[in-house]
Chain A
Amino acid sequence: MLKTLRKIVAVGIVSEPLPPSDALLRVRAALDRRVARLLGRALCIRHVDAGSCNGCELEIQALGNPYYNLEGGNIRFVASPRHADLLLVTGPVVRNMAAALRATYAATPAPKLVVALGDCGCDGGIFGAHGECLGPVARVIPVDVAVPGCPPDPVRILQGILTAIDSTSAQAAAEARDAP
């Protein structure tokens, strides 16, 4: 016990500040200020692997390490979509997971947000789209924010999540799209 306590004191606090959001990651300007206020910064996330190679999962797990201080930012992963505000979806969506992904989306209470993670989630990645692979997450459920990378590093994932709940970035994305 003494060794454990000594280790905790010796290591100290290694947490780093959260990164800023990034409007460039936004693909759908669905969020209004009311929803942003409703969720505030207490966000519950349900991760769904819809066909990933498990590379993105490694970096999602890294979000839980003390450096990224996810829970310090009032963001946490929950065990059920029924408790979730946001679905974090990895992988090209494969045929064998499409029904489970749709069911998970349906079980998530509105208002809900979806972040597609990794090159595969964004555009199908190296796996392409053929019989077994349906491809990008947006082909199966509506996506608000897409974070490319293979795998995206934890800071990029955090930026994607923060972008999803940032109504100013939603407005910026809408304006960018409406501009001629």
Chain B
Amino acid sequence: MPLTRWWSVAYEVAGAPRVRGVDTDGDQWRQIGRDVAAAGGQLLALWVDTAAPGTEVYSAYLTDPGVLIARLALGAGAIDAGYPGLQDLFPAASRLQRAACDLSGVRSSDPDQRPWLDHRLPYEFVRVQGEGVHEIAVGPVHAGTIEPGHFRFSVVGEKVLRLEAHLGYVHKGLEQRFTELPLSAGHRLAARVSGDSAVAFSWAYCQALEGISGCPVPPRARRLRAVCLELERLANHLGDLGALGNDAGFAFGLMQFARLKELLLRAVRAAWGRRYLFDVIVPGGTAADVHAEAAQALARAVRAICAELAELRVIYEEHEGLCERFAGTGRLEPQLAARLGVLGLVGRASGQARDVRVDLPCAPYDEFPAIKVVRTEGDVAARVALRFEEAQESGRLLAALLAELPPGEHVAALTPPSADAFGVGLIEGWRGPTLVALRAGAGATVRRCHPHDPSWQAWPALEHAVLGNIVADFPLINKSFNLSYSGVDL
């Protein structure tokens, strides 16, 4: 049946706007996947819940009407048999299913059963054979200040024939840890799923929790949260733009953008008392308020940074050496991006026009509409241009959001939700749609919490984007994706 029918029979799920759920059997589980794919929707997340009375498998889809969540309950006998895999419909499902299997022991029916997060077993890379083919193994400890992961290149001369990433090195047992914390403290752990997306994850967690608690978030707090989210986006884009210039040999870019990012962090500290907004989003609102004078000072700092950003964009675009390195490098064609289900910034640079702030806006984005930026070239140049444009858009939003903060409290009291209440938070972080699925336990505990970073969908796309490029361009292509390791290693 068409997606609209599933949507009309689905029940409301608390938390983010326009989230609905459907309970399925094995056939319907696959059928929903087929119908979502036919309607142009994408797989958003997939997880297994063994804390339920029976084991349950969940898939969340991002579709035009909203987020559709399919739940498949496995009977006691069915747990060993597993559940129907979704890899043929959504390639991103493969690693999600393998990770879920490592965490829960529940298998999908898909053929690739290699472990993902569990490194105790040897990992078999796909081998490329032929005359002159050799392998380059990189990591887990990398040459720069970045997170650990292993990359296996199969190359002929300089040309990359295949790249296979093996991640999971910073697997911290996050999902287990969530269940050891009280519901009221989970946002702190959520903020540390991927530290560079602290606001996105902690907001998504709080959105889910506030949804199931029926807590109305004060208008001032909603506005302040959006300020935090756009500051996080701006800070990350500034950092990336500098690093991208540097990876193409333009150290001037690194120094200038690193300087602008530092200026932004200092302005953030002046307003919030901290450079990174780790524990600012709390259940019910924000941990601190920003007073009118501090808000105006922050707005002035952002305006000055965005003016310099525009100036630096001209320098980047007039620099022929940079333009040559960026253009055509690491291309991810829109058709392939759609097939792989790439979301967020990397997706938007390859024609995938989704932005949760615009498509499924939560407050205050309904009042302060963001402008979606999309490009179709899919190369490093497109991902650079997208960052420039999104950073300016964040600057515009910040000016509007900070202009006049609504009066009132910045945090509301939260009443604990009933045991088993289920909610979903969904926030467009700087990388893309950031999801937190939360099920409360008895006595204000966490029965199950699953955080999902959009890097899950983009990591496999990186392996395609480097094909045919030379090994020496990998750092540049990788930086243009700038995906999270910690966020997917859980």
Contacts and interface: CB of A to CB of B under 8 A. Distances in A.
A132 B141 contact: no
Contact of A96 (B169, B174, B195): B169
Interface stretch (A23-31, A33-41, A122-130, A163-171): A122-130
B484 interface: yes
B258 A62 contact: yes
Nearest to A62: B262
A54 B188 CA distance: 15
A49 B486 CA distance: 10
Interface residues of A, number: 49
B95 to A, nearest CB: 16
A62 B261 contact: yes
A60 interface: yes
B152 interface: no
Contact of A54 (B168, B169, B195, B315): B195
Contact of B170 (A96, A128, A153): A96
B189 interface: yes
A8 B311 CA distance: 12
A53 B319 CA distance: 35
B144 interface: yes
A126 to B, nearest CB: 6
B148 interface: yes
Contact of A80 (B143, B170, B193, B314): B143
B262 A49 contact: no
B196 A54 contact: yes
Nearest to B180: A128
A67 B259 contact: yes
Interface string A65-81: 11100000000010111
A18 interface: no
A7 to B, nearest CB: 7
Contacts of A79: 143-144
Nearest to A150: B278
Contact of A132 (B171, B198, B265, B486): B171
Given A54-B484, A65-B258, A49 B170 contact: yes
B85 interface: no
Given A91-B170, A132-B173, A53 B145 contact: no
Given A54-B194, A91-B170, A130-B176, A65 B147 contact: no
Chief secondary structure at chain A's binding surface: mixed
B145 A60 contact: yes
Interface in B308-367: 311-312, 314-315, 318-319
A66 B146 CA distance: 20
A66 B259 contact: yes
Contacts of B66: none
A58 interface: yes
A4 B148 CA distance: 34
A77 B142 CA distance: 12
A151 interface: yes
Interface in B247-281: 252, 254-256, 258-259, 261-262, 265, 275-276, 278
B192 A126 contact: yes
A54 B173 contact: no
A151 B145 CA distance: 15
B485 interface: yes
Q: Which 5 A-B pairs have the closest CB atoms?
A: A55-B195, A132-B173, A65-B258, A79-B143, A53-B195
Interface of A: 3-4, 7-8, 11, 14, 47-62, 64-67, 77, 79-81, 91-92, 94-97, 100, 104, 125-128, 130-133, 150-151, 153
Interface of B: 117, 119, 140-141, 143-148, 168-174, 176-177, 180, 188-189, 192-196, 198, 239, 252, 254-256, 258-259, 261-262, 265, 275-276, 278, 311-312, 314-315, 318-319, 484-486, 489
23 contacts: A8-B252, A52-B170, A53-B486, A54-B195, A55-B278, A57-B145, A59-B276, A62-B258, A62-B261, A65-B255, A65-B261, A65-B262, A77-B145, A79-B143, A96-B489, A97-B169, A125-B192, A126-B188, A127-B177, A130-B173, A132-B172, A133-B172, A151-B276
